[in-house]
Chain A
Amino acid sequence: QQPVQSPQAVILREGEDAVINCSSSKALYSVHWYRQKHGEAPVFLMILLKGGEQKGHEKISASFNEKKQQSSLYLTASQLSYSGTYFCGTDPVGNQFYFGTGTSLTVIP
């Protein structure tokens, strides 16, 4: 049930771009993205409900390919504050949440 994320870790310099991918073996009702700072609880970033839907949050956006059961998170012109672990959360039936394995993102000056 757990979606798979890639890459597992990425290091960026400020201003660089990154893409985090999330794929599921099951059909998805929705995809959520969360960011977790070290030692803290995850914080919601955005939700995608329809196939092909794209959402944006500051310079962070995401897409959802319902047919391929995949979602991607795009971080452009990364900032130091973007560092953290990113999780995709998939909800196959409407009330269960399975999180991906996480992607550790480190932005350095």
Chain B
Amino acid sequence: SQTIHQWPATLVQPVGSPLSLECTVEGTSNPNLYWYRQAAGRGLQLLFYSVGIGQISSEVPQNLSASRPQDRQFILSSKKLLLSDSGFYLCAQGASGANVLTFGAGSRLTVL
């Protein structure tokens, strides 16, 4: 089975502060990993995806970055947060083959 751990679950940060959200997964090796952001009442926006260690593809130009230092670790970062970065951040793992996504519980970020 696949388990995804995300932390922190919630955080409130001032504008201009740095950010680090972590995601670790259990289960299959070399999974496809994804970061999504969901603004309040909105859909899921694909931010980054990774098919392997050190391999990151960015979907949306922004002040966020992602890294995959280990096979089962995916990190979302920012050097300086903006108000528009507020949202619900979801890490997801794609299973091999059909690539069905399993989501973590999410990290809710409020930037003030």
In chain B between 61 and 104, which residues have their CB closer than 8 angstroms to a CB of chain A? 90, 92, 94, 98-104
Give chain B residues whose Cβ lies under 8 Å from the Cβ of A100. 43
Asked if A94 CB lies within 8 Å of chain B CBs, one says: yes
The smallest beta-carbon distance between B25 and chain A, in angstroms, is 14
* CB-based A-B contact count at 8 angstroms: 57
Judge whether B99 and A44 touch: CB under 8 Å: no
Please determine whether A87 and B100 come into contact, CB atoms closer than 8 angstroms.
Answer: no
Contacts of B44 in A (CB 8 A): 42, 87, 99, 102
Q: Are B103 and A98 in contact (CB under 8 A)?
A: no
| Chain A nearest Cβ from B53, distance in angstroms | 15
Instruction: With A41-B103, A94-B99 as known contacts, state yes or no: A99 contacts B94, CB within 8 Å.
Output: no
Q: How far is the CB of A88 from chain B (nearest CB, A)?
A: 10
| B105 nearest in chain A by CB position | A41
Q: How far is the CA of A49 from the CA of B99 in the complex (A)?
A: 11
Chain B residues with CB under 8 Å of A34's CB are 101
Chain B interface category by residue count = 20 to 34
Given A30-B98, A41-B90, A47-B98, check contact A95 B32 (CB 8 Å): yes
Per the 8 Å Cβ criterion, residues 75-102 of A in contact with B are: 87, 89, 91, 94-102
Residue count of chain A within 8 Å CB distance of chain B: 24
Instruction: Please measure, in the bound complex, the distance between the C-alpha atom of A51 and the C-alpha atom of B105, giving whole angstroms.
Output: 32
Q: Which of A37-74 contact B (CB under 8 A)?
A: 40-44, 47, 49
A2-B43, A95-B49 given; A49·B104 CB < 8 A: no
**What CA separation (Å) do A32 and B94 show in the bound complex?**
12
CA distance A69 to B105 in the complex (A): 31
A99 to B46 Cα, complex, angstroms: 8
Do A32 and B100 contact each other (CB < 8 Å), given the known contacts A87-B44, A97-B94, A102-B43? Answer: yes
A44, A49, A101: the one contacting B101 at CB < 8 Å is A44
Partner of A41, one of B34, B49, B59, B106: B106
4 nearest A-B pairs in the assembled complex, by CB-CB distance: A41-B103, A99-B44, A102-B43, A101-B43
